[in-house]
Amino acid sequence: MSDILKVSLAFAGDPDPEFDNFAAQHVTCMDGNLAFPEPTVKPADVDALQKTFHTALLAAGRGGTDLTAAKNEAREPLETALRLNAAYVQGRPGLTLSMLLSSGYVQVIYSHAQSQLDTPTLTIDNGISGQLIAHTPAVTNARSYQVQVSTPDGKVLKTVDSTQGRNIVIPGLTPGIVYTLIARAVGGLTGYSDWSDPVSHMCM
C-alpha cells in the first residue's frame, strides 16, 4: 500500500497551537496553487476561519471556561474546512506526491506506527481546588492525548490536549461539581483511538 498516495488527516488530532499553525500554512500553500484551482473551501474562507480560531486561542490562554468553549467552537468549522479540502486534494486526478505536499497536507505513510491505536484507560484524581488530574497509561504509537470534560447535564465543557498522558491537568472547574471525563489517544492511521469508558469525579 506504500505506493498509494493518501492525504493524512492527522492534523485533526494536533494540539491547538500546532493545529493553528497547520491551518495558516494550508492557506498559504493553497492560495494561487495552480494544481488545486477550485478547492471545496476557498483559501480566503479558510483564512477567515483560521484568524477567528487564532484570536479565540489567544483569548483562551487567559483562562476561563467561557473562553475555552469559544475556542473549541471556533476550531470545529476550521477543522471541517480542512477535512473538506483534504478530500478535494485526495480526489485530484493524477495526484503526485509533489502536488500533494504543495497543498500543505502531508502523505499518510503506511507503517506499524500508523495502525489503529489502543483505547486508553482513564483514572481521575483531584489537584488543587478547581482542578482535576487525568491519568492514562501510555498508548503505543500515540503522539498525544485528549481529555474531554462534560458537565452533569451532558454538555461538553472543554477538551484538553496533552503530549503525555501520565498527568493531564484539567483547570478551571467548579468545586463540588461531579464532572464526567473521557480520553482518547491521538495518532495512527485513523487519527484517534476510540474514546475511553467515561469516569465521573467530583472536583474539590
Q: Could you report the average pLDDT of every consecutive run of 10 residues in the chain (204 residues)?
A: 73 90 95 96 97 94 86 94 95 92 85 69 94 93 90 89 91 95 82 89 95
Is there a single domain that holds both residue 94 and residue 120? no
Inter-residue contact 146 to 38 (CB < 8 Å)? no
| Neighbour count for residue 49 (Cβ, 10 Å) | 21
Domain residue limits at 135: 114-202
Alpha carbons 57 and 76: distance in angstroms, whole number: 13
Residues 92-113: b if buried by 16+ CB within 10 A, e if exposed: beebeeebbebbbbeebeeeee
147 and 193, same domain (yes or no): yes
Same domain, yes or no: 91 and 14: yes
Of the residues 55, 81, 102, which one is the last residue of a structural domain? 102
Q: Would you state the pLDDT for residue 189? A: 61
Residue 135 C-alpha cell reads as 491519568
CA geometry: angle 80, 86, 92, nearest 5 deg: 140
Q: At which of 69, 102, 135 does a domain end?
A: 102
Q: Classify residue 42: in a domain, yes or no.
A: yes
The pLDDT, as a whole number, for residue 2 is 40
Cell, residue 92:
485530484
Query: Do 62 and 19 lie in a common domain?
Result: yes
Whether residue 77 sits in one domain with residue 121: no
